[in-house]
């Protein structure tokens, strides 16, 4: 039925209401209005930054209208919703993306031109929102874009860090230096809505006292406030504009007035500082949780050394998000038994695993629901995505720290151990008092596998040791409805390695795969507008269609045979190379040879990703070139190799790899014999925005992890979508990309996953010297030790990782790697055939749209449906 108008004169409201600016004149009016009012400036004193801000505020107004309508619509319809809990959202810039999704880029370009500005200059003014480390955080951002574009009622929940991932500087010696990233310092962030009215209290420390009825009273300790900031997430060619809610921590009261009045000012502000500290900075560790040798934190990050703040971040965020989710559910007025019919919660890795005990706490202690029913609700609501099988990246929290910071949650975790494994209440109480994993010997596991003590120890939520530690992946697994990996191979590895015992205990059906995806809006239309336009022209469909139905790219296949089309395709790649060269020239003052093949490896620095293999291969190439005659060199295909990526501040070996790359580049680039044939660049401060310039320019990109170590990879998808060919190992999503584009269009090398374990074993117990195993590599290592790239001694710790254990199997894969690069050179000689490969690669990448991935989550896990805003 029609609702009654809530207040005042309906017509006055209707007349006053504005709609989205869709034509150039309303765009310019809106921008000028913001210049004059919001910025209090005029045409006379407006610079690029001011013009960007005014234009951004104008787009913000449009977004707010759509966002408001969407949220109202979702509230009215009350569909089942999904919540994506991620400690990282690596959003990058918003302005261009919002304009493209709204379909207003042309109007704004024309508008700002009329106002005397250049659109490209304005786009460059925006700082990246870099609230993430790498793949995991960028995946979350792609999934938000796809949820909105597919009109799915999905919200993201994260933290509003004051400082994003550190800015990377490279010293003249090649050392990585870290600088803070105060991304909000420039004043207002136009892409968020502060919701000071939406806030929750979050408790830490204190005491938890069990009550006879099974509940507990958690009291005392520290209370802080979580305040909501809403980031608008526009869908592509739809009104649907979803929400990313980021929490900021605040002291509950400004400062402790008692201490203040007693003259103890330091103590007075101490508690308020410690509250604000919770959301001050993103942790820069990527895959580097529990490894001492990789965590010798250095000066600028000493305040992060203690792990307590990281656990505080995790609880603060999950507690605020769950309070918000539960409050929204209660507004619907349904009984809690129906909670899983209205709410799905996706855990992005184990970082939000505390959502499981926290939801139990809310249901039991606050809603007075008995244990069994509460556990049913939780295990039908929560879903867990695993992103790595590397042992050092699996989260574990010391029991003493958990007991201190979250006493009630630790009780609940012990109770899960006992209940889930079927203990009676009396035994359970004793166990809780003893806090002993001896009592995790459950009847259920015991019944299924009698006498298998090793299995019980392996499966326990609590790892024995000093201290004992809670295994978050085990908790996430038993507390979830479904567990998934992020590519076929990786999902199989999850089932056969880290969660093998759980598969044997609970059965296969809980475990599945959702291969990652990327949004074609940012990673094709936005970063490669010329290619996007060529695709629309060729397919004779508007991009609003194929960008949301990426399998349509298949329609490009016949054009691989079309000479004219190939010419246009190659010309666009060439202009993208020139765009990158221009960027390098203006930012670093370096000249890049745009007549060369562009070879790119851009990702976090990590031993398993093997940037070392790449740089050792480059040095091998250099040595080979040096030995050639001038005549031989004439036949060589020129190559420019780009690296970019950040190392965790305490990851010594990764930093040393950067140093080797930078110093090798310095020597190689200065050599007149080879300068036209081989140059190397390490581009500092890798970011989403830098990726947007690099990816469209590549001829080949490298994804060369030791087989079985890269869960998926997503930049591999971005390069291939932009017609760059893949050089890689048989790992992660590389495998599915090869399946999709055809093995003859990728360059695979290296040992396969099943061989890796055996080879490592051999390296441990029957080591073979590098000289014997791989003479070509030995020569490269000798040159480095001998000082070809500066004091050789500096690199010994890095080279020794290869000479000694060679855990990541550089010596095993080096020859076949060099072989693959030779195949690349061969293939590149036939320019026309190469372009065909490039076209066919793009044409077959439809599967890797994050729209496909998010729809798999929506349909097979969450059971949510599109809710279109009309
Ligand atoms: C991260 O970026 C990834 C996994 C992790 O466990 C952490 Cl802590 C950070 C990456 C994977 O390494 C990458 O292979 C995958 O594509 C990405 O997550 C998204 O699933």
C-beta 134 within 6 A of ligand 1: yes
337: which 2 tokens? 């038994």
- Name the residue of 134, 314, 719, 848 to mutate for ligand 1: max ligand atoms within 8 A of Cβ: 134
Residues 804 and 666 in one domain: yes
ipTM for the whole complex: 0.99
CA of 470 to the centre of ligand 1 (A): 21
Q: Same domain for 39 and 108? A: yes
Quick: pLDDT tens for 402-426: 999 999 999 999 999 887 654 333 3
- pLDDT at residue 305 tops 90: no
Alpha carbon separation from 569 to 487, 518, 645 (Å, rounded): 30, 22, 29
Is 543 found in the same domain as 425?
no
525 and 476 inside one domain: no
State which of 124, 158, 192 marks the end of a domain.
124
Nearest residue (CA) to ligand 1, atom 16: 713
Whether residues 415 and 542 share a domain: the answer is no
pLDDT, position 149: 98
Handedness of CA 783, 788, 792, 798 (dihedral sign): negative
pLDDT in tens, 686-698: 999 999 999 999 9
Pairwise CA distance, residues 133 & 165, whole Å? 6
- The residue annotated as part of the active site, out of 34, 468, 490, 609, is 609
694 with 759, same domain? yes
Q: Does 31 reside within a domain?
A: yes
Q: How far is the C-alpha of 658 from the C-alpha of 663, rounded, in Å?
A: 9
Bridge partners (DSSP) of residue 482 are 383
Please give the pLDDT value at position 451.
Answer: 85
- Ligand 1 centroid from CA 606, angstroms: 12
Which member of 610, 718, 763, 837 is catalytic?
718
Q: Which residue is closest in CA terms to ligand 1's atom 19?
A: 136
Range of the domain at 53: 27-74+98-124
Pairwise pLDDT comparison (423 vs 620), residue with the higher score: 620
Residues 476 and 534 in one domain: no
Which of 112, 113, 93, 110 has its CA nearest to residue 101? 93
Q: How many structural domains is the chain composed of?
A: 3
Tell me, using a 6 A CB cutoff, whether residue 516 lines ligand 1. Answer: yes
719 and 800 part of one domain: yes
Return mean pLDDT, the chain.
94
Substitution candidate for ligand 1 out of 646, 711, 857 with most atoms within 8 A of CB: 711
* pLDDT in the model for residue 185: 93
Q: How confident is the model over 532-551, as pLDDT tens digits? A: 999 999 999 999 999 999 99
Q: In the 8-state DSSP scheme, what is residue 211?
A: -
Q: Which residue, chain included where needed, has tokens 């009261």?
A: 253
Q: Let me know if 609 is a catalytic residue.
A: yes
Atom of ligand 1 at shortest range from CA of 733: 16
- 317 is a domain residue: no
pTM, two decimals, is 0.96
Is there a catalytic annotation at residue 294? Answer: no
Write down the pLDDT at residue 292. 42
Judged against a pLDDT cut of 80, whether residue 20 lies above it is answered with: yes
User: Residue 298 has what pLDDT?
Assistant: 42
For residue 784, what are the CA distances in angstroms to 174, 729, 788? 15, 25, 5
User: Phi, psi at residue 568, to the nearest 5°?
Assistant: -65, -40
CB of 556 closer than 8 Å to CB of 722:
no
Q: Does pLDDT of 269 surpass 80? A: no
CATH code at position 694: 3.40.50.2000
How close is the Cα of 209 to the center of ligand 1, in Å?
39
Exposure class string for 748-786: b at 16+ Cβ within 10 A, else e: bbbbebeebeebbeebeeeeeebeebbeebbebbebbee
Residue 517 near residue 854 (C-beta atoms within 8 A): yes
Q: 833 and 719 in one domain?
A: yes
| Cβ of 712 below 6 Å from ligand 1 | yes
* Helices and strands, number each (H, E), in the chain: 38, 24
Dihedrals φ, ψ of 232, to 5°? Answer: -80, 135
Atom 5 of ligand 1, residue of closest alpha carbon: 387
* Predicted pLDDT of residue 295: 45
573 is catalytic: no
How is residue 862 annotated by DSSP?
I
Split at pLDDT 50, 70, 90, the class of 300 is: very low
Percent of the chain with pLDDT over 90: 88
Furthest-apart CA atoms within the chain: distance in Å? 89
Q: Are residues 401 and 525 in the same domain?
A: no
Q: Which of 283, 346, 384, 388 to mutate to test the pocket of ligand 1 (most atoms within 8 A of CB)?
A: 388
Q: Do 602 and 681 fall into the same domain? A: yes
Please compute the mean of the pLDDT values over residues 638-665 and round it to a whole number. Answer: 98
Report whether pLDDT(436) > 90.
no
Q: Is the pLDDT reported for residue 489 higher than 90?
A: yes
- Residue located nearest, by CA, to atom 3 of ligand 1: 136
| Contact call for residues 205 and 308 (beta carbons, < 8 A) | no
252 is catalytic: no
Give residue 842 CA to ligand 1 midpoint distance, Å: 24
Residue 287, ligand 1, Cβ within 6 A: yes
pLDDT at 351: 98
Give the HSE-up count for residue 374: Cα atoms under 13 Å, Cβ half-sphere.
Answer: 23
In which band, very low, low, confident or very high, does the pLDDT at 442 lie, cut at 50, 70 and 90? low
Which of residues 457, 480, 503 is at a domain's end? 480
User: What pLDDT sits at residue 426?
Assistant: 39
Distance CA 620, CA 657 (A): 16
């Amino acid at each position: 039925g029609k609702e009654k108008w809530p207040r005042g004169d309906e017509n006055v409201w209707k007349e006053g209401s504005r709609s989205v600016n869709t034509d150039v004149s309303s765009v310019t009016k809106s921008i000028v209005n913001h210049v004059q009012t919001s910025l209090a400036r005029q045409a006379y004193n407006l610079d690029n930054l001011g013009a960007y801000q005014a234009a951004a505020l104008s787009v913000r107004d449009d977004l707010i209208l759509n966002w408001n309508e969407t949220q109202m619509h979702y509230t009215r319809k009350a569909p089942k919703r999904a919540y994506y809990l991620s400690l990282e959202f690596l959003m990058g810039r918003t302005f261009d993306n919002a304009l493209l999704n709204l379909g207003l880029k042309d109007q704004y370009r024309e508008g700002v031109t009329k106002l005397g500005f250049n659109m490209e200059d304005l786009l460059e003014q925006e700082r990246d929102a870099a609230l993430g480390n790498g793949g995991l955080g960028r995946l979350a951002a792609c999934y938000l874009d796809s949820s909105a574009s597919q009109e799915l009622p999905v919200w993201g929940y994260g933290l509003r860090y004051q400082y994003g991932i550190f800015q990377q500087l490279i010293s003249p010696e090649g050392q990585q230096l870290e600088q803070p990233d105060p991304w909000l310092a420039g004043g207002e962030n136009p892409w968020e809505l502060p919701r000071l009215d939406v806030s929750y209290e979050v408790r830490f420390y204190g005491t938890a006292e069990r009550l006879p009825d099974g509940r507990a009273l958690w009291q005392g300790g520290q209370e802080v406030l979580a305040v909501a900031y809403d980031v608008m997430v526009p869908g592509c060619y739809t009104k649907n504009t979803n929400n990313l809610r980021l929490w900021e921590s605040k002291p509950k009261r400004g400062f402790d007035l008692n201490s203040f009045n007693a003259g103890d000012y330091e103590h007075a502000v101490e508690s308020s500082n410690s509250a604000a500290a919770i959301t001050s900075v993103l942790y820069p560790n990527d895959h580097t949780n529990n490894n001492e040798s990789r965590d010798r934190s250095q000066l600028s990050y000493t305040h992060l050394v203690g792990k307590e703040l990281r656990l505080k971040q995790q609880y603060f965020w999950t507690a605020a998000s769950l309070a918000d989710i539960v409050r929204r559910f209660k507004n619907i007025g349904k009984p809690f038994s129906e909670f899983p019919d209205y709410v799905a919660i996706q855990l992005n890795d184990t970082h939000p695993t505390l959502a499981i005990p926290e939801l139990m706490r809310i249901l039991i202690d606050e809603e007075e629901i008995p244990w069994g029913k509460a556990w049913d609700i939780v295990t039908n609501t929560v879903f867990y995505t695993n992103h790595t099988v590397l042992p050092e990246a699996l989260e574990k929290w010391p029991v003493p720290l958990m007991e201190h910071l979250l006493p009630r949650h630790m009780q609940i975790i012990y109770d899960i151990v006992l209940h889930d494994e079927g203990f009676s209440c009396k035994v359970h109480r004793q166990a809780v008092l003893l806090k002993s994993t001896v009592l995790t010997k459950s009847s259920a596991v015991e019944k299924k596998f009698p006498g298998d003590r090793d299995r019980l120890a392996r499966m326990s939520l609590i790892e024995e040791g000093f201290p004992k530690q809670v295994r978050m992946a085990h908790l996430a697994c038993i507390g979830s409805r479904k567990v998934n990996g992020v590519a076929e191979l990786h999902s199989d590895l999850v089932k056969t390695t880290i969660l093998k015992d759980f598969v044997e205990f609970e059965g296969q059906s809980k475990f599945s795969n959702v291969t990652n995806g990327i949004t074609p809006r940012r990673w094709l239309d936005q970063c490669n507008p010329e290619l996007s336009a060529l695709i629309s022209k060729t397919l004779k469909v508007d991009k609003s269609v194929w960008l949301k139905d990426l399998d349509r790219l298949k329609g490009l296949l016949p054009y691989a045979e079309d000479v004219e089309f190939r010419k246009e395709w190659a010309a666009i790649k060439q202009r993208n190379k020139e765009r990158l060269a221009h960027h390098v020239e203006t930012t670093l003052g370096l000249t890049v040879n745009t007549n060369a093949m562009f070879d790119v490896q851009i990702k976090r620095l990590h031993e398993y990703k093997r940037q070392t293999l790449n740089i050792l291969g480059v040095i091998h190439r250099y040595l080979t070139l040096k030995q050639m005659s001038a005549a031989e060199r004439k036949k060589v295909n020129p190559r420019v190799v780009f690296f970019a990526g950040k190392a965790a501040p305490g990851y010594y070996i990764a930093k040393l790899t950067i140093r080797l790359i930078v110093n090798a580049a310095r020597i190689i680039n200065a050599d007149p014999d080879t300068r036209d044939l081989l140059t190397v660049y390490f581009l500092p401060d890798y970011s989403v925005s830098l990726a947007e310039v690099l990816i469209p320019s590549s001829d080949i990109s490298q994804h060369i992890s030791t087989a079985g170590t890269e869960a998926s990879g997503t930049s591999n998808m971005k390069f291939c979508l932009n017609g760059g060919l893949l050089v890689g190992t048989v790992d992660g999503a590389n495998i599915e990309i090869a399946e999709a584009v055809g093995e003859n269009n990728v360059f695979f090398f290296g040992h396969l996953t099943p061989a890796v374990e055996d080879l490592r074993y051999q390296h441990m117990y029957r080591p073979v010297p590098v000289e014997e195993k791989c003479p070509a590599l030995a020569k490269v290592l000798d040159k480095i030790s001998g000082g070809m790239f500066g004091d050789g001694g500096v690199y010994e710790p890095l080279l020794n990782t290869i000479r000694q254990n060679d855990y990541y199997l550089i010596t095993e894969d080096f020859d076949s790697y060099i072989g693959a690069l030779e195949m690349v050179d061969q293939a590149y000689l036939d320019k026309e055939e190469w372009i065909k490969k490039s076209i066919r690669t793009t044409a077959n990448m439809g599967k890797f749209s994050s729209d496909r991935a998010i729809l798999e989550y929506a349909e097979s896990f969450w059971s949510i449906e599109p809710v279109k805003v009309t």
